[in-house]
Each structure stands twice: as structure tokens, then as C-alpha cells.
Structure 1
Amino acid sequence: MTTSAMSLNRRRLLALAGAASGAAILAGMPLPARAQGSGKLTVWVFDQTTSTKLKEGFPLAYPGYELEIVQMPAADLIQRLVIALQGGQGLPDVVQILTRETGALFATGQFMDMTAELEPLRANFPEGILLDNEGELITFIQGPGNMGFWVNRAALETHGLAIDPEGTWADVVAVARELKEKSGGKSHVFIQPPGANGFLMFNGYFNARGGNWWDASGNLVADAELAADTLQFFVDLKTEGLSYDTVWSAPNYWDLIKDNTIVGYTMNYAVGSTNLKRNVPDQSGQWQLVTWPRWNAGEPQRTGNFGGHVYAALRNAPNPQGAKDVVMWWLSEAGIKAQFETVGTLAYAPARDVVDLNIPDPYFGGQTVLSDLISVPFPQFYYQHWTETTSALTNAVDQALSGAKTAREAIDEALAELRAI
């Protein structure tokens, strides 16, 4: 057999194997393990919980690799990574980075093209989870921060009020007004975080409405009218006294929930479920998840993203096959279980065949919180020029909330600043 014939047959076999693998995935099976690789494999991480699962589980699937995990604070990791990318030396094979850091880093073109591995699986990921750069699929978000509206149902019922799970934000505001009157101004279903957290919350609503500041190539594409209209929503809440000025990281935040000052807030699974149950156990059975109200009745239901991280392979990884294996291990049965046990939220269809996401949660009155939250996707969002975006838009939100500028003036000023980048 000639070399060309052997190559052709090999390509056909690989194509058939790929097609079979894709069919298995679409049928709901977790990703099978790859052929064994070898050599040293270095992964930089900032999070101990997920990296511990990687350290325990990956060698069982790939014993041929010598896995080294280097943990450091997220900010230090980014600084060290940027230096390594600039110098082209000391690069790891894989890095764990926050989702919001991906835009600028992926735009360098120094992350591995994983299109061949991820494209056959695209149908199994909800909108917004696969991340790309210039048409190349790079990785997928783990622990996506699908935002939910967490409501103390029992506290509202004492005032004869309830949130309609199928309602709009206008319906929620109407309840907030009644709650203000009936509670004497004490209780709130909205919070208003300060500074950058205030921008990130506003950005979640903007994302839910299909808003983006940038496109995948880093071009400014923001819809100023949509952004200003979304910001005006927050301004109106503050003006009417319907939002409470605080943030989930404040020392007294959970005390405000315990005394029913806060009886509702929007946030991701970690704060909305995990931290709520840990810090306010006595209110078990009183809370409910409203997946995400629509902006207008009849619109498709979409939420916003607040959080998440990725494991991404470097284009010049010392061990390129090993780098791919680390990223894809998270989609194997063991990797899916590891994600479930650490971040909870899973945005990958075959995960339902590996772990039970339809677990009734007694804290939320028996709701299947995990599956309900993930059932509402968020539109694709691009974190390009994120440091500059956060700075400009945080200032815009602060100025609009303080009344120093109208929402439209604040947004226009921020966009002018971003155009100058």
C-alpha cells in the first residue's frame, strides 16, 4: 500500500471515528477518553476546588502524563501569563482563567484552536458557552454564572404578594412598589451594589437583552439606546426607593436577609443558592428561584452571565496533545462529575446522563434549582477590552445612579471613552 493510500485510509478512519464520536455525543453520551499520551504536563490554576478534582481524576484516565498543577491567585496568574506570552518562554500547557479575562487573552491569538475537538459537540452546549477567537473555537465556560432571581416567597406572602414565575420585570417592579408600601419601606426585592459590582449586575441585565459592548474581533458594537434603557431601569429603582444599597460580599448582607430587609435579589447559583443556604439555613423552604423574568411579554427567555471560568490550552504548549486532553477531560464522565461536585452548574447536555440535575431542593420548596437555572441560556457575550470596559461603565453606572448625568449621557460618555481605545 502506498504512503498516500495509507494516509487516505487513515483520514477516512479518523473521519469515521469522529462521526461516530459526534453521534454518540448527540445521543447524550459523555465524551470517551482519548488514546494515551505521555510526558510532562503543566497546568496553572487559581482555584483549589476544581484543580483538586483535576489532580485526582485526570491521572486515572491518562496515567502516561506527569501532571504538575501550579496554583496562584487569579491576578498573579494573569500577570505571570502575560509575561510568558510576551516572552514566549515559561509557558504552561493549560491555564485556568476567569471568563471575563478571556477576551483580551484570546485576542492575542496564542491559545490553541480546539475547533476539531469542540465543533462536533456544538449542539450539546447552550448559547453563550463555547468561546472562540477569529472563528477558532478555544474552549467552553465551566460553572457558568446563569443569573437567577432569588425570592423569599414566604416573606412576600405575609404581605399578600407573590412573584409571577412567567412574568416580566415590569411585573416585579409592581410587586416591589406594593412591598415598599406594605412593609413600611423596610423590605426590598432588588439590591444595588456599588462600584464595579454595580456595573457587573447591570451588565448581566444588558447581556440578557442581547447586548454586547464588543464583537468577537474587539470592534465596538454597543447599542447605546439599549444600554441606556437598561441603565434607566436601575436609576428608576433607586429613585423610587425600590432597591437597597448593598452587595453580597458586605459583612452584614446575610443579616439583612435574616431580618427580611432583603427578600429578593438577582445573582448566580453560587451566591443565590449555595451561599444563601450556608448563611441563612433557618429560612429553608421559604425561598424560590424565578429563573429570569422577561423584559417584555412574549419575548424568548434569556438570562445574563455573571461568573464562570475556563481551562484553555496554549497554542505553543510544550505538550500540545496533553493540553488538549486536559481541556477535553472535563467533558468525560469523570470530568462532568468533577464539575458537578465543585461548581454545580453544568451547561453540557450529556451531563444529564452522568449526574442528576433534577434534584428537588427542599430549601427552595422542592424546586429543581440546578436544572431550572441552566434551562435559561444567556446570549453570547464577548469580554474584549474588559479592563477598560469595566472602568468606563462602572463610572457611567455610578454617575447615572447619583443623578450627576442622565442614563443616556452616562452611556454616551462611556462609549466615547471606549471608542478611543
Structure 2
Amino acid sequence: MDSTTPSTRRLLALATAAVVAFGGGACSSDENTSAAESGQSGPVNMEFWGWASYEKIVDQWNAAHPDSKVTFKKIPSGGKGGYTQITNAITAGEGPCLAQIEYQTIPSMLVKNTVMDITEYASADMAKYAPSAVSASSIDGKIYGVPVDVGPMVLFYRKDLFAKYGITEPPATWAEYKADAEKVAAADPSVKFGTAPAEGNDLAAFSLQTGQSWYSTQGDSWTVSIDNAGTRKVASFWQDLKDRGLVATTGNAWDPQFNKAATAGKVLSFVNASWAAGGLKSDLKDQSGKWAVAAMPTWEAGDGKSSSNGGSATSVMTGCETPREAAQFATFLSSDPQAVKEGIAGGLYPASKAGQDDSSLTAGDPYFGGQKVGDLYKASAEQVPTTWTNGPTYQQVETDFTEAIGQGTLPDAVTKVQASTVAAIKKLGLSVTDG
């Protein structure tokens, strides 16, 4: 049964032969049947490839499902070779049944015909997850992965340094953020209020908050709208702060330059996803109790809009002979309470709505002085726009943005990457409109 929509089929058909031609081991969507439907007898055996710490979750599944065994293989993260490894294996007819796929990479995997449409198996469970994660796992109304985690954006800030510079409350809007940055610079130009976006992933997260997407599909064509009003507003805002020396151009949590500046008391805050807390805890242990968390500043006072940076789904891969069982495992990984708890312990913030109320997230966090930071993460996750569409050439966009930001201004980078992305999609053999 071919469950793709006409629009999706056209997008796939427009891809070049080099992109979508796969070896004999890859099956079409006509073969997307369960073990029983395909006539397979005996226990189901499925491979699952990913880079997160999923071993204990797989063990839980196997203990409870003796007739459906999953074998987990740890691979490099997607951007560091994992996706290439997955694609090459599928081409050779030796790919996994399931794989960890970041949301932004799902479209490019679909264009390569490496992920299955699992709508018939997974749609009934989608209400369990944050709407933005469901949207990010879907294309053209079809589901290509079960959401695992999200990266709700918040403001991390130093309570002691805010007090030192007379900032009584964290900024609720970007206008207040700018005013606070000016206040700090007036007191000591060597101290930076925050950090500017340094690469494409950062800029995408800030743009997502505006509700304007970088891509859309119209009929049989992609439309690229990276150079939109929302993104240009974001780029101009941060470029102004950079030009005036109000923010640092280093990265943040896990970046050695940021750690050095933070240790010296030269940076007061940064805006990033919940997972960045792990960087603070691992690299700045001696600053425990000094950091706090607040809501991400908004463009309009009180609108509550937030954003997300990162996250992945569990996708069923082309060639899997037991997609129903694979989707069942994916749902278990994302929604079983104990499995979700293991994911949280491994540093994942769950896409599962129920998982966001896990006791490990609702308790006070000692690093943040006992603050219940999970409440802020949850509120942020609930306010992420669902209007964002990921595109089919994510790695190109990320690479081009990072290069362009290093060579010029953020607004110039937006213009350059708009053009290079249209060219890259054309090179894939897909129809594309310059939006």
C-alpha cells in the first residue's frame, strides 16, 4: 500500500537518480507490512541505531517483549557521520529497522527515501507529545518519526552578577534585554550581558520564535523563505548588539571561550535550550548556586512565545520488514514512564507531555539553587510555534550559515544562505521557489 500523498510522491519523484536510487535491500512503501502480514514467523528481531544512551531502554523493552527483540548499535551523532553510515547501510541492503533522526534532518532523509511513512501505526499516539515535536516529525501531514525529546529555550543567567549590575529582574522582552545589555556595558565595557548566535542552528532557533518558517511546500515544490521578515528582525537585533560590543561572540555552555569568560565574571547570561544546563553543570561546577533560569525573552510583552533548539525522533527506516513492531518500540521509547525516566537521566528533555511531569524534572535543581527549572522548561515547550517546516538540505544550511556569519554580518548571512539554499535544493533535482 502506498500511503504517501501525491505531493510527497512528487517531491520524491523530482529527486535525482543519484539521491533516491538504492540497493535491492531497500523496500518500497508497498512492503510496509507487519511481521504477521508479511508471513514472517517466529520472534521479531530489529536493529536500532543512534547516539543517545538508549541501552537501558532497549533492555527494558526486550525484557517485556520476548517475541520482539531490539538490538541497539551506538553510532556517531548524525552530523559527525551517523547519517552517512545509516544511508550507506540502507543502500547496501544492510540498514537498521529504526534510527535516531534529528527533526531538522527528517526531510533530507525522506528525499533520500530512507525513512518510512508510519502514520497508520503512530498517529493514534501523537497526542501524547508536545505539538511542536509532532509537527517537526511530520511532513505533508504524514508522520516520519515518533518524537523523543525537545530543546525548550530559556534564559540562563548569573543571579550574583545581575545583582552586581543592578538588574533586579531577568528581561522579559528583547527590548528589556537590550536595555540591560546597555546598562552593563555602561558600568564595565569588558563585561558582556549575553552571547550572540554564532551559527545556523542558533539563528534557526531564534527565528522559530517569530513564527515564520524558513521553508514550506506548495504543490510539488519547496519554497525557501530564509530571508523573511522574522529572521531579518532577529539578525538585525543581534548584529546591532554585536556592533556595539554589548554581547560576546563566543558560544555558550560547553564552549571553552564561554567557560573562561564565565569563570572571570565577564558574561552574565545566554539563551539556549534546556540541555545547555548540562554544560554548566559539567564545566562550571564551582558556580553551582550562582546560575538561575528564566523564560526566553519575547518580542511582544506577554505573548509567551518561546522556541526549541534540538531534539530527535525515532524513525522507521526503509527496508524494515516489521514497521508495525518498530513503531511500537518507538512509541515505548518515547512514552513508557520508565523509558522516559531513563532518557531524562541521560540528559534528554522529553517530548512526552506526561514525561515533562516526571518527578526528576519537577523537583528543585540544586545547581540552580533549588529552583524548579523544570517548570520553566515545560512552559517553554508548550509555547513553541508549530508553524516551522524543516527543509531537505539542513547540513548545507548549517554549514553555509556558520561560514557566512564568520565572514560578515548576520543580515548579510541571511541573504547569502537564502540564495545558496535555493541553489542546493535545485542541485538535488527538486522543484524550488525563491520565497
Q: Fold-level match, TM-score > 0.5?
A: yes
Does residue 284 of structure 2 align to residue 280 of structure 1?
yes
Trace 1:1-12 onto structure 2 (pairs within 5 A).
Answer: none
Structure 1 residues 228 and 397: CA distance shift in structure 2, 3 A: farther
8 A Cα contact 2:153 2:380, kept in partner = no
| Structure 2 residue aligned with 1:383 | 390
Cα drift, residue 267 of structure 1: 1.6
8 A Cα contact 2:293 2:368, kept in partner = yes
Whole-Å separation in 2 of the counterparts to 1:85 and 1:218: 25
Structure 2 counterpart SS, 1:297: coil
Whole-Å separation in 1 of the counterparts to 2:106 and 2:257: 33
Structure 2 counterpart SS, 1:233: helix
8 A Cα contact 1:212 1:382, kept in partner = yes
Cα drift, residue 347 of structure 1: 2.4
| Structure 2 residue aligned with 1:215 | 216
| Structure 1 residue aligned with 2:316 | 313
Whole-Å separation in 1 of the counterparts to 2:347 and 2:377: 13
2:104 maps to which of 89, 100, 104: 100
Structure 1 residues 225 and 133: CA distance shift in structure 2, 3 A: closer
1:227 maps to which of 225, 231, 240: 231
1:68 alignment partner AA: T
| Structure 2 residue aligned with 1:199 | 200
1:257 maps to which of 226, 240, 262: 262
1:389 alignment partner AA: V
1:226 alignment partner AA: G
Cα drift, residue 352 of structure 1: 5.1
Aligned length: 372
Cα drift, residue 169 of structure 1: 0.8
Aligned residues: CA RMSD = 2.6
1:189 alignment partner AA: F
| Structure 2 residue aligned with 1:6 | none
Cα drift, residue 268 of structure 1: 1.6
| Structure 2 residue aligned with 1:23 | none
Does residue 249 of structure 2 align to residue 245 of structure 1?
yes
2:94 maps to which of 90, 94, 116: 90
1:159 maps to which of 160, 165, 169: 165
Structure 1 counterpart SS, 2:380: coil
Q: Deviations over 1:5-32 (max 9, x none)?
A: xxxxxxxxxxxxxxxxxxxxxxxxxxxx
1:139 maps to which of 134, 137, 145: 145
| Structure 2 residue aligned with 1:366 | 370
Cα drift, residue 313 of structure 1: 0.9
Whole-Å separation in 2 of the counterparts to 1:230 and 1:353: 32
Q: Deviations over 1:395-416 (max 9, x none)?
A: 4434443xxxx82x54333322
Structure 1 residues 412 and 252: CA distance shift in structure 2, 3 A: closer
Cα drift, residue 231 of structure 1: 0.5
Cα drift, residue 235 of structure 1: 0.7
8 A Cα contact 2:125 2:331, kept in partner = no
Gaps of 5+ in 2: 1-35, 37-41, 426-435
| Structure 1 residue aligned with 2:402 | 394
Structure 1 residues 154 and 290: CA distance shift in structure 2, 3 A: same
Structure 2 counterpart SS, 1:357: helix
| Structure 2 residue aligned with 1:66 | 69
Whole-Å separation in 2 of the counterparts to 1:274 and 1:207: 23
| Structure 1 residue aligned with 2:32 | none
Whole-Å separation in 1 of the counterparts to 2:265 and 2:121: 49
> What TM-score does the superposition give when structure 1 sets the normalisation length?
0.80
Cα drift, residue 246 of structure 1: 1.3
Cα drift, residue 61 of structure 1: 1.9
Work out the percentage of aligned pairs sharing the same amino acid: 20
Cα drift, residue 152 of structure 1: 0.4
1:335 alignment partner AA: A
1:169 maps to which of 149, 153, 174: 174
Whole-Å separation in 1 of the counterparts to 2:131 and 2:324: 27
1:258 alignment partner AA: T
Gaps of 5+ in 1: 1-34
Cα drift, residue 244 of structure 1: 1.1
Greater displacement, 234-243 / 114-123: 114-123
Whole-Å separation in 1 of the counterparts to 2:197 and 2:170: 25
2:211 alignment partner AA: G
Does residue 315 of structure 2 align to residue 334 of structure 1?
no
Structure 1 residues 233 and 78: CA distance shift in structure 2, 3 A: same
Structure 1 residues 309 and 356: CA distance shift in structure 2, 3 A: same
> What TM-score does the superposition give when structure 2 sets the normalisation length?
0.78
Structure 1 counterpart SS, 2:81: helix
Greater displacement, 148-157 / 219-228: 219-228
Cα drift, residue 105 of structure 1: 0.5
Structure 1 residues 334 and 39: CA distance shift in structure 2, 3 A: same
